[in-house]
Amino acid sequence: VPMTLADMIPVPDLGPKKIKLFWQTLGITTLAGLQEAARAGQLRALPGMGEKSEAKILAGIESLSRRTGRTPLEKAWPFAEEQLALLRGVKGVVAAEVAGSLRRMRETLGDVDILVAATLPELVMAAFTTQGAVARVLGGGPIKSSVEFTNGMRAQVWVHPPEKFGTALQYATGSKDHNVRMRELALKQGLSLSEHALTPVDGGAEILCATEEEVYARLGIPWVAPELREDRGEMAAALAGTLPRLVTVNDLHADLHMHSTWSDGKATILEMAQAARARGLRVIAITDHSHSLGIVQGMKPEDLAARQMEIDAAQAEMGDSLRILSGVEVEIKADGTLDYPDEVLAGLDVVIASLHVSLRQPREQITERLLNAIRNPHVDIIGHPTGRQIPDRDPADLDMDAVLAAAKESGVALEINANPRRLDLNDVYARRAKELGIPLTINTDAHAPDQLALLHFGVAVARRAWVEAGEVVNAWDSEKLLGWLKAR
Ligand SMILES: [Zn+2]
Ligand SMILES: [Zn+2]
**pLDDT per residue as tens digits for the range 111-155:** 999 999 999 999 999 999 999 999 889 999 999 999 998 877 899
Ligand 1 centre to CA of 422 (Å) is 10
Percent of the chain at pLDDT > 90 equals: 83
Distances (CA, A) of 91 to 338, 364, 366, 391: 60, 61, 57, 39
Ligand 2 centre to CA of 288 (Å) is 7
CATH number for the domain running over 71-160:
3.30.460.10
Ligand 2 centre to CA of 472 (Å) is 19
Report pLDDT for 296. Answer: 65
Enclosing H/E stretch for 144: strand 144-149
Distances (CA, A) of 298 to 207, 257, 301, 334: 62, 15, 10, 16
Q: Are 339 and 328 in contact (CB under 8 A)?
A: no
- Mean pLDDT, rounded, for 371-380: 98
Ligand 2 centre to CA of 6 (Å) is 37
Ligand 2 centre to CA of 429 (Å) is 20
Distances (CA, A) of 47 to 29, 36, 95, 326: 18, 19, 58, 58
Distances (CA, A) of 251 to 248, 412, 454, 466, 472: 5, 21, 15, 15, 9
Cα(174)–Cα(476) distance, integer angstroms = 33
Q: What phi and psi values does residue 360 have, to the nearest 5 degrees?
A: -100, 15
Write out the residue limits of the CATH 1.10.150.20 domain(s) in the chain.
3-69
- Helix 304-318 crosses helix 269-278 at what angle (to 10 degrees)? 40
Point out the ligand nearest to the CA of residue 386: 1
Cα(381)–Cα(220) distance, integer angstroms = 41
Write out the residue limits of the CATH 3.20.20.140 domain(s) in the chain.
249-487
Q: Taking Cα atoms as reference points, which of 308, 328, 285 lies closest to residue 481?
A: 285
Q: Are 209 and 198 in contact (CB under 8 A)?
A: yes
Point out the ligand nearest to the CA of residue 445: 2
Q: How does pLDDT run across 44-102, given as a tens digit for each residue?
A: 999 999 988 898 888 887 767 555 567 889 889 999 999 999 999 999 999 999 999 99
CATH number for the domain running over 3-69:
1.10.150.20
Report pLDDT for 63. Answer: 67
> How crowded is residue 52: how many other Cβ atoms within 10 Å of its Cβ?
9
Q: How does pLDDT run across 296-343, given as a tens digit for each residue?
A: 678 999 999 999 999 999 999 999 999 999 999 999 999 999 999 999
Q: What phi and psi values does residue 286 have, to the nearest 5 degrees?
A: -90, 115
Write out the residue limits of the CATH 3.30.460.10 domain(s) in the chain.
71-160
Cα(439)–Cα(1) distance, integer angstroms = 59
Report pLDDT for 66. Answer: 56
Report pLDDT for 135. Answer: 87
Q: Are 167 and 110 in contact (CB under 8 A)?
A: no
Fold entry, domain 249-487: TIM Barrel (3.20.20)
Distances (CA, A) of 18 to 1, 43, 61, 363: 14, 10, 14, 41
DSSP result, 419-481: -TTT-BS-HHHHHHHHHHT--EEEE--BSSGGGGGGHHHHHHHHHHTT-BGGGBGGGS-HHHH
We find that the CATH architecture of domain 173-240 is 2-Layer Sandwich (3.30)
Ligand 1 centre to CA of 418 (Å) is 12
Ligand 1 centre to CA of 384 (Å) is 7
* DSSP label of 51: H
Ligand 2 centre to CA of 409 (Å) is 25
Q: Are 386 and 371 in contact (CB under 8 A)?
A: no
DSSP result, 301-334: GGGHHHHHHHHHHHHHHHGGG-EEEEEEEEEB-T
Write out the residue limits of the CATH 3.30.210.10 domain(s) in the chain.
173-240
Ligand 1 centre to CA of 304 (Å) is 19
Ligand 2 centre to CA of 295 (Å) is 13
Q: How does pLDDT run across 397-431, given as a tens digit for each residue?
A: 999 999 999 999 999 999 999 999 999 999 999 99
Ligand 1 centre to CA of 445 (Å) is 7
Ligand 2 centre to CA of 329 (Å) is 6
